[in-house]
Copies of this chain bind each other. A is one copy, B any other.
């Protein structure tokens, strides 16, 4: 049986005193110390990172990590835009299924705040197609188009969108590692400047630095000695057209639907069994659409359920969504995000989530998206 047996994350935010690989080193050192493991007991490292090539001119991160950790084991860099973390976890899971490795570190990291904003925005736009880039579209614009269709089709307003960041900022106040630890109101969201109508600054996840990592093991000796652990039930990936123009619909992400359906079949549990979910809220509309595509709500109904507070910590009778604060409030250091999502679910399932601990939670889900939905990864833990 495969288990997540450890998790560590740096704070997310503007970490000007740390380098990309400095953050990676901190995470690896903490993971090994917490699990009382030596690097010699690790069979491979998977490293999720999007922008290290364009921002740091590093295209050999595996060897850099080998150098820092004084090891000769395989180290793989995984890049799949904002889904890099989820994809790294998926590949690590399959690597373990192959039974030639037993214990793996899966690390995600990104360093974004040291660079000129136009460099970062151009780098992030690399998750969109060449045609979209040439048309001048960046990610706020792509998600704004999705939001326009959704709002018009179902009669929602920008106030409804605002419920997502309001909830996630509240959760951020309960997470000491979050980039934003302050409450915001619907009025503040509504009055913040437009980035791409109908999306505003406070509908949008920030530019962040940070690193996160998990230890994944099938080794009975390792699993036995570790107190806090949770089984990996499924981690499924689906892709779709990188361009919005190639999609069947703009108010739904097909890759999420496919990955979720596969994951629930694999995990042999129902949607109702999920107690916590980390859902990819790069923009407010993204969480709304995801909640429908993941099968938690019918199409067109997620917004009003989120507005009602039923996925908010302390107000929910069922599943709580984005207890970490989500991408919006916890921060979105791209390569780290998918790992932090899985780590947050692990914290909840192992009763280590502190002030945001959801009671009696047995199963949790993490949902990680690349670009505007060209890649989706759905991971289910617990049992």
Binary B-proximity of A73-85 (CB < 8 A = 1, otherwise 0): 1111111110000
Q: Are A53 and B126 in contact (CB under 8 A)?
A: yes
CB distance from A253 to the nearest CB of B (A): 11
Q: Which of A354-379 contact B (CB under 8 A)?
A: 370-371, 374-375
Binary B-proximity of A254-297 (CB < 8 A = 1, otherwise 0): 11001000000000000000000000000000000000000000
Residues of B within 8 A of A241 (CB): 63, 66-67
Residues of B within 8 A of A307 (CB): none
Q: Are B97 and A60 in contact (CB under 8 A)?
A: no
CB distance from A369 to the nearest CB of B (A): 10
Residues of B within 8 A of A151 (CB): none
Which of A74, A80, A94, A239 gathers the greatest number of chain B CB atoms within 10 Å?
A: A239
Interface size on A, residues (CB 8 A): 62
Q: Are B374 and A67 in contact (CB under 8 A)?
A: yes
Q: If A94-B94, A370-B60 touch, does A67 touch B242 (CB 8 Å cutoff)?
A: yes
Which of A50, A63, A65, A97 gathers the greatest number of chain B CB atoms within 10 Å?
A: A63
A33 close to B (CB within 8 Å): no
A25 close to B (CB within 8 Å): no
Complex Cα gap A66–B101 (Å): 29
Q: If A91-B91, A242-B64 touch, does A80 touch B72 (CB 8 Å cutoff)?
A: no
Complex Cα gap A129–B56 (Å): 10
Q: Which of A180-206 contact B (CB under 8 A)?
A: none
Q: Are A125 and B66 in contact (CB under 8 A)?
A: no
A315 close to B (CB within 8 Å): no
Q: Are B100 and A94 in contact (CB under 8 A)?
A: yes
Binary B-proximity of A117-130 (CB < 8 A = 1, otherwise 0): 00000110111111
Residues of B within 8 A of A79 (CB): 53, 59, 77, 79
A350 close to B (CB within 8 Å): no
Complex Cα gap A50–B90 (Å): 21
Binary B-proximity of A92-110 (CB < 8 A = 1, otherwise 0): 0111111111000000000
A316 close to B (CB within 8 Å): no
Q: Are B81 and A239 in contact (CB under 8 A)?
A: no
